[in-house]
Structure 1
Amino acid sequence: MHRILPFILLIFILSCNFEKKTEQKEVKPQAIISVPDFDENSAFEYLTKQVSFGPRVPNSKAHEECKNFLISEISKYADAVNVQNFTHNYLGKTFKLSNIIASFNLKSGFRILLCAHWDSRPYADEEKEPSKRIQPVPGANDGASGVAVLLEIARILKDNPPPIGIDIVFFDGEDLGIAGDLDNFCIGSKYFAKNKSVNYSPQFGILLDMVGDKDLQIFKERNSVEYAPDVVEYVWGIARELEISEFRDQVKYDVYDDHIPLNEAGIRTIDIIDFDYPYWHTTEDTPDKCSPQSLKKVGSVILNLIYKYKANVAER
């Protein structure tokens, strides 16, 4: 009896190992995920349309007209659109501001926040010529480019329903403050963060700012790496897979932008920004300094994230 038992045990162990090895060899075929193409020309039209109103400085006619256009346009595509109207007192004035919030796939509790600011700066304080520093900034790259990418993505989501929930927010009042006065920058994102529902908790957020530069170079922003390093690596990994070399692997700059209030409110958000833009906060920030191809590169990365993210998470 003692001689037979080890032999029986050996057969049992070998059979278990064989079953395990057999299970490991079974490879499930991966589903082919179709990612819609990003139309750079359509996106660039959205950029030029915003600039055509004039500088979108709060309280101006251009600001009001652009707001109405953005609400009307994104309402064609989104499942729901909400507008947060609020005021901000600064420099002895009361500014009327509006955040525009568009949501897609409302039934999904698995959500990602995409955002950009739609206002433009009231003063071109980076101009070399002092007389120009009191002029408003056209804001083709600084503002309109991020909004243009997201409007084109919204158009695509309408015809190609996303597998996850997407919320697109256009923040107002990002560029209102005087240099160094951080309390009066990012007014819209601060208002959104303070007034969001306690139940609103997206997986993460992505901010697009100055993504249309002809000479596109997007480095990793330091605050983004500190707040959400895994999101940065995931997004830059998509860019590598797509062979979009404009997404650089080095960390450069730390920028106070709309992602800071969101992170402080618990929404882990990264900033995709090309801060090496020579026309920043000048009157030369015009559409001719921007490129449809740059918009496409950023838009393609975001679209791949939207349509592949849930599948990629499931594989981990």
Structure 2
Amino acid sequence: MNFRLFRLAPALLAAGLLIAGCRDQQKTPEATTEPTEKPLPKSPAFSADSAYAYVARQVAFGPRVPNSKAHVKTGDWLVREFKKYGLTVREQPFEAMAFDGKMLKSRNIVAQFNPQAARRVAIFAHWDTRPFADKDKEHKNAPLDGASDGASGVGVALEVARVLAAQPDSLQPNVGVDFILFDAEDYGHDDTSQSELTNQLEALGKDSWCLGSQYWAKNLLPAGYKAQYGILLDMVGAKNAKFSREQISRQNAFSTVAKVWDTAARIGYSDVFIFRDMGGITDDHVYTNQAGVPTIDIIDTLPFGDETFPAYHHTTQDNMSVIDRRTLKAVGQTLLQVLYGE
């Protein structure tokens, strides 16, 4: 995934509340009490080991570049996995022109849990990989494993789907959940690392990134799709990942940002979901927001320094060696807790 960083916003500060009380109209020492938070509802456990295995399985297919055999096999496997857990699965095939003029045979995948539910939450991710490691100093033209940038978000989505499907009817959340996986997201032109290449889409006034979500936003599947909110998972599996509160997310779905970050902190992951505001980035949530689904982006970025993304970003370092079970657990357990709070 490549992004354009817009601007930095100040962090929000929380304030405590002090309540003084007395008894029997007698003077007593001043007492203070902390405001009581509503207990979190019980949610099922997210298996980091299972999510890790889902990530590894995708990587084992090879780089999931559109038009490749690995890409086709991975897509077929994803459809089978969702169907195995009883979800209603639809495929959305499309063809899109890449920045270099190549036509990409692609498909978005939509898997619905409890499709009859009126209230719905969307979990978005992209399942393709970037065809070239343009930030890699030694292997600039090599394709990527995309372990974090692509496979991690899908791995978390698959594990959440598996967990939900395993619950009896009495222990299911009060919302339907749609897992929407976008294709051809990462075949874009990077102005900084690919300046020698011509971006043919720029002349047409089109974004070369997020081709799958662009197509879905104009051709909603299911037709007329509505959701209470959406959560985009992108680069959510690496060691020492840090998720800041991204600007477009705050502007379009501030209450969801607050809900997710507060929930993560309450279950012990404030070191991963950090209370820091950052500028806006171009990712699939730009187009899902345009489609009417207020969406936030959970994405690994560097909270300090001049670089926006970790060193593995768009390099051959983005392989299984960067994947960390605790990061997967932090994201997946937070998602389940949020869903069970609806």
Q: TM-score range by the shorter chain?
A: 0.7 to 0.9
Residue 149 of structure 2 corresponds to residue 142 of structure 1: yes
Determine if contact 1:111/1:164 at 8 Å carries over to the other structure.
yes
Residue 127 of structure 2 corresponds to residue 94 of structure 1: no
Equivalent-residue separation in structure 2 for 1:239 and 1:247 (angstroms): 7
Residue pairs, 1:1-316, within 5 angstroms: 33-90=41-98, 91-129=100-138, 132-160=139-167, 161-180=172-191, 183-196=207-220, 199-245=224-270, 246-276=272-302, 277-309=310-342
Structure 1 segments of 4+ aligned residues over 4 angstroms from their partners = none
Q: Deviations over 1:115-138 (max 9, x none)?
A: 100000011111123xx1111111
Note the C-alpha offset of 1:31.
Answer: 9.6
Identity score, percent: 42
Equivalent-residue separation in structure 2 for 1:92 and 1:142 (angstroms): 23
Residue 305 of structure 2 corresponds to none
RMSD, aligned CA = 1.6
Equivalent-residue separation in structure 2 for 1:214 and 1:43 (angstroms): 14
* Corresponding letter in the other structure for 1:174: E
5+ long unaligned stretches in structure 2: 1-37, 192-201, 303-309
Greater RCO (CA < 8 Å, at least 6 residues apart): 2
Secondary structure of 2:207 counterpart? helix
Equivalent-residue separation in structure 2 for 1:260 and 1:31 (angstroms): 33
Secondary structure of 1:208 counterpart? strand
5+ long unaligned stretches in structure 1: 1-29, 310-316
Determine if contact 2:252/2:294 at 8 Å carries over to the other structure.
yes
Equivalent-residue separation in structure 1 for 2:86 and 2:146 (angstroms): 25
* Corresponding letter in the other structure for 1:192: W
Equivalent-residue separation in structure 2 for 1:137 and 1:302 (angstroms): 27
TM-score, with normalisation over the residues of structure 2? 0.78
Q: Deviations over 1:153-174 (max 9, x none)?
A: 0101111233211100111011
More helix by share: 1
Q: Deviations over 1:249-271 (max 9, x none)?
A: 11124211000001112111000
**Worse-superposed segment, 235-244 or 145-154:** 235-244
Equivalent-residue separation in structure 2 for 1:285 and 1:86 (angstroms): 27
Equivalent-residue separation in structure 1 for 2:230 and 2:262 (angstroms): 16
